[in-house]
Amino acid sequence: MKRYITFSVLFFTCCAVQAQDLNARVKVVAPKIQVTNKRALQTLETAMKDFLNGRKWSADDIAPQERIDCNFVLNITSWDGSSNFSGELQVQSSRPVFNSTYGTTLLNINDKDFDFTYTEGQTIDYSDQNFQSNLSSVMAFYAYIIVGMDYDSFSKYGGTQYFLNAQTISINAQTTSFKGWKAFDSNTNRYWLVENLNNKLYNNLREFIYNYHRNGLDIMADNPSKGRKYISSILPVLSQVDRKRLGSYFPLAFFTAKNAEFVSIFSNASPQDRMQAMNTLSAADPANGGKYQSLKGK
C-alpha cells in the first residue's frame, strides 16, 4: 500500500491481502457509578470493538501486520440504567518506528463531551452520508483521524482525504444536540480538531509530522546521531505554528502526544543540543515547559 511503500523490504515476506485497517483495543469502565448490569457494558465494549475493527476506513489494502494500533477507553460517568450514557473517551494511536520495536504515539486525546444512546444488543449503524447516532459518529470520526494521522506520518499530507472524511462527519452532526461538534461548545473539541487539521494555517505542523517521523525517528534505530540531528534542525518549525488563533486544538493535541518523546530523544544529546532543544520546545509549547526543563540537568 502507498503509505508503506518505503517499508516494502520489511514486509515482502508477507502477502498483501485485503484486511481491515485498525487494531483497536476497547475498554469500557464505570468506576464512579454503581453498575448492576455489567453485561450491558461488556456488550457495549464488544460492539465498539467490532465496529472499529470490522470496517474499512482507508482506501488501501492493509495487511494484518500493518494495522494501526489504537486504544479507546470509555469512562462512563453517567448512565440511566437503560440506554442513555455520558462519559469521557480517551483515544490513543501509535505507529511503529522503522527497524525498531518502538511505537511512537501519534494521537492522545481525551474527549470529555461524549453523550450517546445504546441499547444492549443493538446494531451500531453508520453512514458517511448522514448522521445515524452519536456513538457511531464519534467512533467513525476518530477512526478517520487515526488513519489520517498515520498516513500523514508516512507521506506528506497523506492523511488529507481522511481528515476531510472526519470533517464530513462533523458537518453532518451540526444539527444534532450532542456536544462536541460545534465551534461554540469548546475550544478543544471535535469541531476544532478537524477544522485545524483541514486548515492550511497548520500545514507547517502537518509537514513537520511527516519530516519528524520519516526523516528523523525512522532512521534513529540505525543512526541515532543522524536522526537526532535532523530532528534538531526542524524543531524551529514548531515555533512558527499558530497557537494564538481561537480553536488551536491540533497543536495542543500534537504536544500532548509528543512532549515526553521529545525529552527522551534529546536526553542523550550534547549539552549544547539539549539546551537548544529545551529553549525551542519551551517557547513552542509553554504548557509543558517544566518537562523540557529536565533537559537542562541531563
pLDDT digits (tens, 9 = 90+) for 184-198: 999 999 999 999 999
Q: What is the mean pLDDT of residues 167-181?
A: 97
Residue range(s) defining the domain that contains residue 239:
206-297
Percent of the chain with pLDDT over 90: 82
Number of domains in the chain: 2
Are 135 and 213 within one domain?
Answer: no
Flag whether 171 is in a domain. Answer: no
Alpha helices per DSSP H over 85-235: 134-154, 160-172, 190-197, 203-211, 218-220, 224-234
Higher pLDDT, 4 or 81: 81
Angle in degrees, CA 7, 8, 13, rounded to 5 = 120
Q: Is the pLDDT of residue 128 over 90?
A: yes
Compute, in degrees rounded to 10, the torsion defined by CA atoms 237, 242, 247, 252.
Answer: 30
Q: Is the pLDDT of residue 147 over 70?
A: yes
Flag whether 35 is in a domain. Answer: yes
Among the candidates 90, 122, 144, a domain finishes at 144
Q: What is the mean pLDDT of residues 134-138?
A: 98
Among the candidates 114, 144, 174, a domain finishes at 144
Flag whether 15 is in a domain. Answer: yes
Are 121 and 18 within one domain?
Answer: yes
Flag whether 199 is in a domain. Answer: no
Are 130 and 18 within one domain?
Answer: yes
Are 130 and 212 within one domain?
Answer: no
Report yes or no: 10 and 97 within 8 Å, Cβ to Cβ.
no
Q: Is the pLDDT of residue 15 over 80?
A: no
